[in-house]
A and B are shown apart, each in its own frame.
Chain A
């Protein structure tokens, strides 16, 4: 079963705007990760935030984590048409080599 819910399911914006995607999960975690998938291909790891971290930045990406609410958000600033993709959150819990559990994903479309 899927760990969490993501919203929105689909997001359509113009180039230069910011995109915010949210993820909720149900169980305790070691870390939460965000991935991008272009056109049904393989997933690309974007950023990882540990359970003891509250915010993390990487380039145009900003991730927040609220473990009390079991939620995370991914902000993409100054979006580009090339950011058009599906974005998934995934939680990792348990052992160091444990599995990932994925959210339902957000389809982001950035119009030039």
Chain B
């Protein structure tokens, strides 16, 4: 299965600023997924990122707030823009290989605290 390197692992940011989270995969993957996990909650999909096309956002998430880049088949970034304390969460990227008959691989997560 793929190995994902996610950076940073944690950060404390001032409100109104932006943070870019990076995920590097050790093999080429068609789709990458970005999730948010609010404190004590489950995971919610933010968007699906395909290489060479705009990301597809889930209901409640917009590109202006969470711009995503996918410049190639091994790398993606998620930016959390104009942050507020409500954005304090764990953000995770995920990939799947070989179709969904196998499990998905997740990055180690970015724990974001906005003060």
Contacts and interface: CB of A to CB of B under 8 A. Distances in A.
Contacts of A102: 42-44
22 contacts: A2-B44, A40-B90, A41-B108, A41-B109, A42-B92, A42-B106, A42-B107, A43-B92, A43-B106, A44-B106, A90-B104, A96-B99, A96-B101, A97-B30, A97-B31, A97-B99, A97-B100, A99-B33, A99-B45, A100-B43, A101-B45, A103-B42
Interface in B50-64: 58
Contacts of B6: 42
Interface string B1-43: 1001010000000000000000000000011010001000111
Interface string B90-113: 101010100111111111110100
Contacts of B30: 97
A48 B101 contact: yes
B48 interface: yes
Interface string B63-103: 00000000000000000000000000010101010011111
Interface of B: 1, 4, 6, 30-31, 33, 37, 41-45, 48, 58, 90, 92, 94, 96, 99-109, 111
Interface in A78-95: 88, 90, 92
A62 interface: no
A18 interface: no
B33, B99, B103 — which one has the most chain A CB atoms within 10 A of its CB? B103
